[in-house]
Structure 1
């Protein structure tokens, strides 16, 4: 039997992954749980294990392809079970028999099982001898419009067929499919359906028909509906318009608090200036609304039509001397076009572009959220680290004997954990929904790590309960895994406070961005010899610079200063850590 394996759902809202590398080839023998591929999500790189013992039959994606969760990426031949062709023939025969017994005479009378069978058939091969790559929503739309998905040329990543491709193919086919789509939408008049749907976007469900923008919109959409002929014979455009209208019937339900979408879909929404929470959808994943790229483009097109109609209506009103007309709520505000243009960067000769996606984009979004959610205040100070340097030198040889590289970071982690005991407000998170400050009982310290993919933050749990060598060993291991991109998501979760050591690269002071939803992050500068006044004399001392950023909604400047003062005490005299 041929066993299909779909890209698994790794949770946390991840909707797709980029295939990085195959570890097997067709014909290879595999065992259950053997790693067959590496996939990069917008969270991390994950290994994909084989679900069965068998032989690799076919690889259905290429390295570099972005594959939606739930799409088949590989098939296996499993011994001792019937072949896929035999099973398919048997299923077709049984389905035909059941349809005859039930007296089914039209495709509309078939149930869910029929739809599932059709989808299975569509997912096998296309008319060109290859497999059809298409999202379930695109397959469903193809069935609704009567389009042979095997004949559709996919314009998506890796040749994937999107809803837009299906609609384009349906439009090329002409006539009757458009009418059928309009009937399924519950309207015999395609034009009215689209006018009604987009008019709700235009005039905010006023329904009074008095808005000049609404009238203009109806006029504009009417031209789309009847192909500019004015005689209602433009059935190709009418069918496609009705399909868009069917997707827009839930416009009034938009404005959600949370929407699941693939990173690529969010990028399209940003490029088109669409708020993804406003895009209507009837798809749900994990109990949350899910929006795909086709839905975003449809919604953007509806908005564009509304805006054009508003502009036409306003121009008509002004030419007639009616200066009191106001644009509808959906109209583009003045200066919006200029702002959109500013978001686009023109590349000159010699410039290089690379995709802003995956882990890099996730890091950027997290930084943006942290910076613009938590009001940052940074407290700068310096500490005489001469004793710290001497203590590390004494212990370094002992650590080397045990195979552990001992840096200054474990000392700082222990000092931070001790200082948090005395100043717990810096070990907090702000629960905005419940309007509560959560004082965390754990001392889980994240260590910001520079990698080729961007900044990652491995978390060392229970720092207050571990010795220096164990902290050093765990930290080194986690940092190495982060740089190798083999770190698990759970190893970067649960932090209560973060340390970033920019001094390892070079630097004195900085303004670290808080690892939201934490409320504080400590930046370490380089330890360098500097002149300091000691007992009235200027002498050379090893000095460590500190930069503490805090969320000013929770932590006052005085709290930050007191925390740093306590931290300095432990770093200036590391023997105090023996009491902890």
Structure 2
């Protein structure tokens, strides 16, 4: 028997490290070639690490939440035949085996920049192996224990999505796959057995003294860091104006009724993006990034519009590149493609980075007014609120009109309030007279 060490792969050009966000296997598990061992994240893009060989997991070099340098050892396998290291080599760098009765201590959260230069060395605490699963026939609501706080059930993204859609807490579902991994069959059996598919209803008023510790890792940590940076470094000015979208909604309905086979259904966003292209052409300072450390504004000719999208894992910002070169239907098609990739977790690093201005929308839940946080280091973000039918005084009488607020924020260091108002007023005028969006100069 030999031993094979798997190192953090080179994920992409310019990426020197990645955050470990999930172990898909446990120490002692037998794995097959190409089986997914772990998931790592950088710049909001998640990458799976497959096993290059059949073997048995001997050791982990990092914990979930750790930032690991490219080239650092992360997994050690026992393999048949010759490995790529000598058995027992560099044992002084490995953590001592964890005793069964001892629980690995929680690691404190650290920003990637605060990790020591020796982060390539293995972390001391291996991921605990999930509890063995009972036979499917024994899966009954009363017999299904919750996993320990902080113990994340192992499951593929597709299984997690199905469970979320069905209202199932995967901590209740025993797994029969390798290392206790929850399979689609396990989820089906749990639901079919009448397992708990929602939070149990409380009877009476009972004090709940439980405290659940949730380690902030992966996409959620990226979001937290990005929001903290944006709010601490950018002095925001938020400008809100009301837009009459009655004519726009009529046009949208007409175009959707006449759309050709294969064309996506039009939402409000493609119209907004086309209006923004026109408005940015008149105020190019909105399509920029501010390097505040160097004191340089980078103004872009290409309009790469990020569209904030909520997914099961958190907020991501897919980017429609060169929106200035896309027509209405092409914009809608690209939006649809990117939204599906974001929901499925298959969006690439390039599709999630590089925006020069961002749109944020909560759809029908958009509220009346929001205060959007700028996507650092950009200088502007356009916020869309929900459409409401309101009585509007027009020509001596009240008439029903479809009204919507635009709540948008700007970096006040580089965008003056007057310019922000002019920009939004221009977009408002285009949306209220939607035919003018398509008039070429």
Q: How does the TM-score come out when normalised to structure 2?
A: 0.68
Quote the Cα distance in structure 2 between the aligned partners of 1:459 and 1:364.
20
Q: Which of 424, 427, 430 lines up with 2:287 in the alignment?
A: 427
Quote the Cα distance in structure 2 between the aligned partners of 1:529 and 1:425.
34
Q: What does 1:218-229 align with in structure 2 at a 5 Å threshold?
A: none
Shift, 1:122, TM fit: 0.9
Please say if 1:55 is aligned against 2:59.
no
Shift, 1:413, TM fit: 1.1
Q: Which of 478, 485, 490 lines up with 2:345 in the alignment?
A: 485
Alpha carbons of 1:44 and 1:439: their partners in 2 closer, same or farther (altered >3 Å)?
closer
Q: What does 1:131-210 align with in structure 2 at a 5 Å threshold?
A: 133-134=94-95
Shift, 1:5, TM fit: 1.6
Shift, 1:474, TM fit: 1.6
Quote the Cα distance in structure 1 between the aligned partners of 2:337 and 2:9.
27
Per-residue CA distance 1:336-381 (angstroms, 9 max, x = gap)? xxxxxxxxxxx97134332222211221111111112111011110
Aligned 8 A contact 1:38 1:46 in 2? no
Aligned 8 A contact 1:35 1:47 in 2? no
Aligned 8 A contact 2:308 2:317 in 1? yes
* Coordinate RMSD, CA, aligned: 3.8
Quote the Cα distance in structure 2 between the aligned partners of 1:263 and 1:479.
34
Quote the Cα distance in structure 2 between the aligned partners of 1:20 and 1:416.
42
| Corresponding residue number in structure 2 for 1:122 | 91
Quote the Cα distance in structure 1 between the aligned partners of 2:83 and 2:352.
42
Q: What does 1:49-448 align with in structure 2 at a 5 Å threshold?
A: 49-50=49-50, 52=52, 54-58=53-57, 60-61=59-60, 65=64, 68-69=68-69, 70-73=72-75, 75=77, 77=79, 83-84=82-83, 88=86, 120-122=89-91, 133-134=94-95, 264-266=109-111, 283=117, 349-399=209-259, 401-402=261-262, 404-448=264-308
| Corresponding residue number in structure 2 for 1:18 | 21
Aligned 8 A contact 1:417 1:443 in 2? yes
Aligned 8 A contact 1:20 1:40 in 2? no
Alpha carbons of 1:460 and 1:72: their partners in 2 closer, same or farther (altered >3 Å)?
same
Shift, 1:45, TM fit: 5.6
| Corresponding residue number in structure 1 for 2:317 | 457
Per-residue CA distance 1:91-127 (angstroms, 9 max, x = gap)? xxxxxxxxxxxxxxxxxxxxxxxxxxxx82417xxxx
* SS state at 1:507 partner: coil
Quote the Cα distance in structure 2 between the aligned partners of 1:525 and 1:120.
60
Quote the Cα distance in structure 2 between the aligned partners of 1:4 and 1:356.
28
Shift, 1:497, TM fit: 0.6
Shift, 1:49, TM fit: 4.6
Aligned 8 A contact 2:61 2:123 in 1? no
Query: Which ranges of structure 1 fall in alignment gaps of 5 or more residues?
Result: 90-118, 124-131, 135-149, 163-261, 268-275, 295-346
* SS state at 1:120 partner: coil
Aligned 8 A contact 1:265 1:293 in 2? no
Quote the Cα distance in structure 1 between the aligned partners of 2:328 and 2:394.
29
Quote the Cα distance in structure 2 between the aligned partners of 1:3 and 1:49.
15
Shift, 1:400, TM fit: 6.8
Query: Which ranges of structure 2 fall in alignment gaps of 5 or more residues?
Result: 125-206
| Corresponding residue number in structure 2 for 1:505 | 365
* SS state at 1:365 partner: helix
Q: Which of 425, 437, 440 lines up with 1:577 in the alignment?
A: 437
Aligned 8 A contact 1:447 1:458 in 2? yes
Aligned 8 A contact 1:16 1:41 in 2? yes
Quote the Cα distance in structure 2 between the aligned partners of 1:403 and 1:263.
49
Quote the Cα distance in structure 2 between the aligned partners of 1:557 and 1:550.
8
Q: How many residues align?
A: 349
Alpha carbons of 1:442 and 1:45: their partners in 2 closer, same or farther (altered >3 Å)?
closer
Alpha carbons of 1:380 and 1:357: their partners in 2 closer, same or farther (altered >3 Å)?
same
Per-residue CA distance 1:227-269 (angstroms, 9 max, x = gap)? xxxxxxxxxxxxxxxxxxxxxxxxxxxxxxxxxxx983349xx
Shift, 1:463, TM fit: 0.7
Aligned 8 A contact 1:497 1:520 in 2? yes
Quote the Cα distance in structure 2 between the aligned partners of 1:433 and 1:561.
27
Quote the Cα distance in structure 1 between the aligned partners of 2:63 and 2:259.
43
| Corresponding residue number in structure 2 for 1:168 | none
Bigger relative contact order (CA 8 A; separation at least 6): 2
Per-residue CA distance 1:415-437 (angstroms, 9 max, x = gap)? 11111111111112222233222
Alpha carbons of 1:38 and 1:407: their partners in 2 closer, same or farther (altered >3 Å)?
farther
Alpha carbons of 1:450 and 1:291: their partners in 2 closer, same or farther (altered >3 Å)?
same
* Structure that is richer in strand per residue: 2
Shift, 1:569, TM fit: 1.9
Shift, 1:572, TM fit: 1.3
* Structure that is richer in helix per residue: 1
Alpha carbons of 1:400 and 1:133: their partners in 2 closer, same or farther (altered >3 Å)?
farther
* SS state at 1:550 partner: strand
Quote the Cα distance in structure 1 between the aligned partners of 2:437 and 2:79.
60
Alpha carbons of 1:372 and 1:121: their partners in 2 closer, same or farther (altered >3 Å)?
closer
Please say if 1:517 is aligned against 2:377.
yes
Quote the Cα distance in structure 2 between the aligned partners of 1:263 and 1:492.
28
